[in-house]
Structure 1
């Protein structure tokens, strides 16, 4: 029998919330901004990059001053705020969170600004169910770096990484989880894309009720 699951870490966009953020446009706008200040070279291939990996590349150059960094995050926040307007929960999200509340520790890790995340979660009346909400302000590097998940572990030092379960839709969620030593299950994820990026989920689910099925299978094994 494996470790008992004591907590679940959720991604937010397209895992708990039906995000309308245009991540492609956000990535292009931030890359264009960074090129305009010669932080990054023009002509980089965007196919293997996300917004967070573009930002990570910029941070590694040492050219990103505090002022330039603030303006860069303003570009991201503009897209986040616009994409969060009227965002609704994924089917079954409320029922799942309500059922897990009080049974397991619940945390949320998002690359979004904490303010934008809290606003969306509060509008959908689920923010209060979480023991911990980690936005990008609490991370050194964004997902796919493991910083956000390591921050969760730091806040719950009595719980080992293997006693957590991570749920997300994107390869960056899985990569960050794996690198923090936390088991990952994919919700409506592109498994081929995940595998190509070195992410191999323990399980694949198509609806959020599948989280409960997975937990039940852990108990019965």
Structure 2
């Protein structure tokens, strides 16, 4: 039976639900090297101030990009993701909180990672079944901080008011995606200074996932369609 709820909650994955071991610094260095080596950017680019997704977008927007080169970029990212996802563990209280929310709201994962790596990590940690869909980079036209993934999810449930959707994540890129997608944002263990620098204004800052249960995120109790 189809589940119908009046609210939806979208979760980032790395460092929000899973304690990520992905070496994002290495990922950015590898991407920057590929960009410079192939003339897609200059050596003067301040790559350390960019996210991996922003570096990828720089490459994709270059007139010099080729399908083969873009594949090299994605393959490099996927290899580092797979290495970092192996043996991932859950954030504290994730199971209890998600199990409760699952009974009251539509739950989604929104991650810049590849779908295969995300699905494997969520299955290994035993929470994949709690989400209606794992929305990964394959479903997006552009990675977070672009709101493409947010819009993809909202289109699945046009009857759920946009004001009843919430994004939960640890990074400013999650907050920017949420704001540009016109949904609420809750920062989990987020860096307030970094959020403010990127003009992200969360509904709340939380340090414990259980705090989600005390926020007014659920518009009404769910019911099954019969």
Q: TM-score per shorter chain, which class?
A: over 0.9
**Given the superposition, is the C-alpha separation of residues 191 and 152 from structure 1 closer, same or farther in structure 2, using an over 3 Å criterion?**
same
Displacement over 3 Å in runs of 4+:
216-219
Across the two proteins, how many residue pairs are aligned to each other? 216
User: Structure 1, residues 105-152: CA drift from partner, whole Å, max 9, x if none?
Assistant: 001100000000000000011111101210001111100111111110
- Whether the aligned pair in 2 keeps the contact of 1:161 and 1:180 (CA below 8 Å) is no
**Cα offset, 1:48, TM superposition:** 2.6
Contact kept, 8 Å, 1:153 with 1:161, in 2: the verdict is yes
- Listed one character per residue, the Cα deviations across residues 141-190 of structure 1 (whole Å, up to 9, x for unaligned) are 10011111111011111123211011000000000010000100100000
Structure-1 separation of matches of 2:17 and 2:179: 20
Shift of the alpha carbon at 1:94? 0.7
- Structure 2 counterparts to residues 86-105 of structure 1, below 5 A: 86-105=87-106
- Aligned-partner Cα distance in 1 for 2:217–2:107: 17
Rounded Cα–Cα distance in structure 2 between residues aligned with 1:186 and 1:5: 22
Check whether the contact 1:171–1:193 (CA below 8 A) recurs between aligned residues: yes
Tell me which residue corresponds to 1:38: 39
Unaligned runs of 5+ in 1: none
Asked if 1:205 corresponds to 2:202, the answer is no
TM-score (norm 1): 0.93
In structure 2, the residue matched to 1:22 is 23
Q: Secondary structure at the match of 1:116?
A: helix
What's the TM-score once normalised by structure 2's chain length?
Answer: 0.91
Relative distance call for 1:16 and 1:5 in structure 2 (3 A) is farther
Aligned partner of 2:224 in structure 1 is: none
In structure 2, runs of 5+ residues without a counterpart are 221-226
Secondary structure of the structure 2 residue equivalent to 1:59? helix
